[in-house]
Chains A and B, each alone.
Chain A
Amino acid sequence: MFRILILIFLATGAAYSAPVARSLVRIEATSQEPNYKAPWNPGEVSGGVGAGFIISGNRIMTNAHVVSNARFLTVSKEGDPRPFPARVLHIAHDCDLALLTVEDPEFFKGTTALEFGGIPLIESTVSVYGYPIGGSRLSVTQGIVSRIDFQAYSHSGMDSHLTIQIDAAINPGNSGGPVMQNGKVVGVAFQGYSGDVAQNVGYMIPTPVARRFLKDVEDGHYDRYVDLALSYQSLFNPAARRALGLADDDRGVLVGSVFGGGSSEGIVFPGDVLLAIDGLPIASDATIPMDNDSVPLAEVVERKFKGDSVTLDILRAGKPLQVTVPLNGPWPFTLHANAYDEDPKFVMFGGLIFQPVDENWMAAHEPADLRLRYTFDFFTEDKLYKERPEIVVLSGVLADPVNAFASDFRHGIVDEINGRKIRRLADVAEEFAKPAEYYVIKMAGVGRPIVLERQAVEAARERILSRYGVTKEQNL
Chain B
Amino acid sequence: MIARTALVVLAFCLPAFAGVTPQPNPTKPAIEATNRSVIRVNATSQAYDFFRPWTKKSPGTRRGLGTLIDGDRILVTAELIANHTFIELEKAATAEKSSATVERVDYESNLAILKPADPAFLAGMKPLALDKGVRVGDRATVLQLEQNGEIAQTIGTVTSILVSGYPLDNLGLLIFRLSAPMQQRDGSFTLPVVRNGKLLGVLMRYDARSQTADIISTPVISHFLAEAAKPAYGGFARAGIAFSSTRDPQLRRFVGLNEPGGVYVTEVLKDGPAEMAGLRVGDVILAVDGRAIDQDGNYDDPDWGRIAFSHITNTIKHPGETANFRVFRDGTILEVPVKLEPRDRSKIISESHIVDRAPRYVILGGVVFMELSRAYLQEWGGDWPKDAPQRLVFLDAFQNELPAGKDKIVFISQILPTPMTLGYENLENLVVTKLNGQEIRTLDDVVSAAQSPVDGFQKIELEEDPGLIILDAQAIEANRDALIRKYSLPALQRL
Contacts and interface: CB of A to CB of B under 8 A. Distances in A.
B482 interface: no
Nearest to A233: B466
Given A256-B464, A377-B390, A445-B398, 18 more contacts: A236-B423, A237-B470, A239-B457, A243-B459, A243-B470, A256-B466, A257-B465, A271-B468, A370-B394, A371-B397, A373-B394, A378-B391, A438-B250, A440-B254, A445-B401, A447-B282, A453-B250, A453-B253
B390 A256 contact: no
Contacts of B304: none
B264 A448 contact: yes
A271 B394 CA distance: 26
Contacts of B281: 447
A371 B398 contact: yes
B251 A451 contact: yes
Contacts of B464: 256-257, 381
Given A238-B422, A239-B472, A240-B469, A370 B253 contact: no
A244 interface: yes
Contacts of A193: none
B421 interface: yes
Contacts of B282: 447
Contacts, number: 107
Nearest 8 A-B pairs (CB), nearest first?
A447-B266, A236-B423, A405-B248, A256-B465, A239-B472, A240-B470, A233-B466, A237-B423
A374 B394 contact: yes
B242 interface: yes
19 contacts: A237-B422, A237-B470, A239-B472, A240-B423, A242-B457, A256-B467, A256-B468, A270-B467, A270-B468, A370-B397, A381-B464, A405-B245, A405-B247, A405-B251, A447-B242, A447-B266, A448-B244, A448-B266, A451-B253
Contacts of B398: 370-371, 374, 445
A152 interface: no
Contact of B421 (A237, A373, A446, A453): A237
B490 to A, nearest CB: 26
Nearest to B247: A405
A235 interface: yes
Interface in B382-401: 385, 390-391, 393-394, 397-398, 401
Contact of A244 (B253, B466, B470, B471): B470
A234 interface: yes
A362 interface: no
A249 to B, nearest CB: 15
A45 to B, nearest CB: 34
B470 A239 contact: yes
Nearest to B281: A447
A317 interface: no
A377 B459 CA distance: 28
B24 to A, nearest CB: 51
Contact of A236 (B265, B385, B422, B467): B422
Contacts of A374: 390, 394, 397-398
Contacts of B266: 446-448
Nearest to A437: B254
A86 to B, nearest CB: 43
Q: Give chain B's interface secondary structure class.
A: mixed
Contacts of B467: 233, 254-257, 270-271
B267 interface: yes
Nearest to A381: B464
A151 interface: no
B465 A438 contact: no
Contact of A234 (B264, B423, B457): B423
Interface in A401-417: 402, 404-405, 408
A456 interface: yes
B471 A239 contact: yes
B424 interface: yes
A451 B248 CA distance: 9
A237 B468 CA distance: 12
A254 B462 CA distance: 13
Interface string B386-422: 0000110110011001000000000000000000111
A400 B181 CA distance: 41
Contacts of B242: 447
A351 B390 CA distance: 33
Given A445-B401, A447-B282, A370 B423 contact: no
Contacts of A271: 467-468
Contacts of B333: none
A445 B464 CA distance: 23
Contacts of B455: 243
Nearest to B400: A445
Interface string A424-454: 0000000000000010100001111101110
Contact of B424 (A237, A242, A440): A237
Nearest to A453: B250
B489 interface: no
Contacts of B253: 451, 453
Nearest to A271: B468
A294 interface: no
B10 interface: no
A373 B466 contact: no
A405 B421 CA distance: 55
A46 interface: no
Nearest to B457: A243
Given A240-B423, A370-B394, A374-B394, A447 B468 contact: no
Interface in B47-102: none
B475 interface: yes
Q: Which of A240, A374, A405 has the most CB of B within 10 A?
A: A240
A447 B244 contact: yes
Contacts of B264: 447-448
A371 B457 CA distance: 38
Contacts of A237: 421-424, 469-471
Of B245, B465, B469, most A-chain CB atoms within 10 Å: B465
Contacts of B466: 233, 254, 256
A208 to B, nearest CB: 28
Interface in B464-495: 464-472, 475
A265 to B, nearest CB: 16
A239 B475 contact: yes
